[in-house]
Chain A
Amino acid sequence: MPKINIVATGHGSKTENYAGGISIQYNTFPEITKADKDRLAKLKKSVEIVEKLDRKIDLNNPCNKYFGTLPRNNPFRHYWRDQTIFIDFSPSLTNGFYGATHSTLKDMCLSAWCIDKNNIWMIAATIVHEFAHIAGAPGGASHAAEKAADMCGFKPQYNPLILGSLENLGKYLEKLAA
């Protein structure tokens, strides 16, 4: 499973800057205050949910199959068991911004808003969403990654309003229907 970026990992922090003045931080999780520790504990519970999912499902499960339809053509298991992937911390408190995936496809961040204001199931769904980006689900404003939350059993956490690259959504829906 992925590693949580805490000081002990030595992974450090980084920022990715984009056109138009957008910056996203991929930081080490702070562990100083009680709030920091509570946040980390909540994240660990969410990671455990996804870990249980990975152990429970076989390669023919819709989750693994759906990930196989994404551009890098590997099942969910392939990415989840890659121990070089890190879950980082974004201090963003923007309502509605859950997290992002770094262009190296080795780091994802979860926002402070996501962890502090949502339950462990929604955080777990966000982790699966970001793994879909690592699996090749398009960036920009793609819906394909959000579809992964639905396909991996997070139906109540799946949000059909998260959308973007409609061509790709159409293609994935066609593949799923086939």
Chain B
Amino acid sequence: MKNLLRKNVPKLFLTVFLGALSSSCATADTDLNKILTAANDVVNKATKVEVAMLKPATAESVMKNALRAPNTIAGFPIKGELKLLSVEKAKAIAQDILNSAHYADIMQRCVNDSLIGIRFTKGNTVVEFAYSQPCQQAFWAMNIDGKLNFASSVLGPDYSKAIIDLF
């Protein structure tokens, strides 16, 4: 038994270490406040803002594609064309979506029909945002310190009109 342990302890340590490493890479930070704070500068001072209609997707594919697949916004596949949005319109939307007090923690069962995606770019930094109907869910994706951060919550109709009016 002792020999067995002695032989396998290094392997065990390696497994635990790699497990922890892959776990920290596989799970994103859901802290909405953290991502809203980090995204503030890029969203408010974006030099390029693109919008598109998006298709619903499974949690697994969203997580796999967020900020990795170019044909997605926040991990949701782009449906149709990506359009440029004026900085003025983007600023109006930014006021609504960057305030954490505008979000609600609602426990609901709801299936989305469609989403609207917005990609904010400032220099080399990209922040992606998606808003769903009818569930009114907001999804944020951004790399912070080289790690994918993903947050989601519910944004009510008082603060989503400018987004819905895009299409």
Contacts and interface: CB of A to CB of B under 8 A. Distances in A.
A20 B152 contact: no
A36 to B, nearest CB: 22
Interface string B57-95: 111101100000000000000000000000000000000
Residue of A100, A141, A142, A161 most packed against chain B (CB within 10 A): A141
B111 A140 contact: no
Q: Is the interface of B mostly helix, strand, loop or mixed?
A: mixed
A170 B63 contact: yes
Nearest to A144: B59
A140 B112 contact: no
Interface stretch (A37-45, A61-69, A91-99): A91-99
Q: Which of B28, B105, B113, B160 has the most CB of A within 10 A?
A: B105
A145 B154 CA distance: 16
Interface stretch (A3-11, A81-89, A125-133): A125-133
Interface residues on B, range: 35 or more
In this complex, the interface size class of chain A, counting residues with CB under 8 Å from chain B, is 35 or more
Contact of B106 (A95, A139, A163, A167): A139
A50 to B, nearest CB: 14
A98 B159 CA distance: 23
Interface string B120-139: 00000000000010111111
Contacts of B44: none
Interface of B: 23, 26-30, 32, 56-60, 62-63, 101-113, 132, 134-139, 150, 152-160
Given A20-B155, A96-B134, A140-B106, 15 more contacts: A20-B136, A22-B154, A24-B108, A96-B110, A100-B109, A140-B103, A141-B138, A141-B154, A146-B109, A160-B60, A161-B111, A164-B152, A166-B28, A166-B59, A166-B63
6 A-B pairs closest in CB distance: A20-B156, A18-B104, A163-B59, A21-B158, A141-B137, A133-B107
